[in-house]
Amino acid sequence: MKRILWTVALAAGLTGPALADTPVARLMDQETRALRAISGDRMASYVARPEIGIEYSRDWLAQQRVGRLDAEARCLAEALYFEARGESVRGQFAVAEVILNRVDSPAFPDTVCGVIHQGTGRKFQCQFTYTCDGHPDTIANQTAFEQVSRVARLMLAGAPRRLTDGATHYHTRAVTPRWSRIYPRTATIGVHHFYRQPTQVSQKN
């Protein structure tokens, strides 16, 4: 990102003092401070993540071995089940991207389970509706759960995140949250619109 911004600035003929007080320079400074706020362990994990090939089809996904789900994979699979089990395979991968993009962001908790359960138990503060809607989290459709479990395992194993362009938020077409008027929309897949929260320095303690 920083390299792209420098290229834009140079192409516009902005250097030295002329670059110091421009939107490009301010955005570069914001991006730099945000990157510095990422812990060493989190950054190392992000950089070292392997990338694997993906086909967004039910037939291909059904051939992938799920194996045993660890705690993080279980959290992700449950979130996909309750948030996106009726979506296409592509739509399920897209929702998983949002959750993992949040894990990588200094603005959110740094674990999958932490991201999913952020705000759970506090009125109007939960990040994912199913964690605070008052309904029991019962997995009744095992076939659907097996599918989203494969999505979860593949994403945690390093599947590419190319569907949502770094999205950190999404909502169904049936609602219009206030933040959707501010955050840039990055994709629309199935019944969901996806958005990326502008980069900012984390205020977490």
pLDDT, tens only, 73-101 = 999 999 999 999 999 999 999 999 999 99
DSSP category for residue 129: G
Confidence category of residue 58, pLDDT binned at 50, 70, 90: very high
Cα Rg of the chain (Å, integer): 19
> Which 3 state secondary structure label does DSSP give 54?
coil
Contacts of range 169-178, beta carbons closer than 8 Å, 24 or more positions apart: 169/98, 169/194, 169/195, 169/196, 169/197, 170/94, 170/95, 170/98, 170/194, 170/195
The reported pTM is 0.72
CA distance 116 to 106: 15
Q: What are the boundaries of each domain within the chain?
A: 37-195
| Whole-number pLDDT of residue 53 | 76
CATH number of 37-195: 1.10.10.2520
Q: How far apart are CA 190 and CA 167, in angstroms?
A: 15
pLDDT at residue 131 tops 60: yes
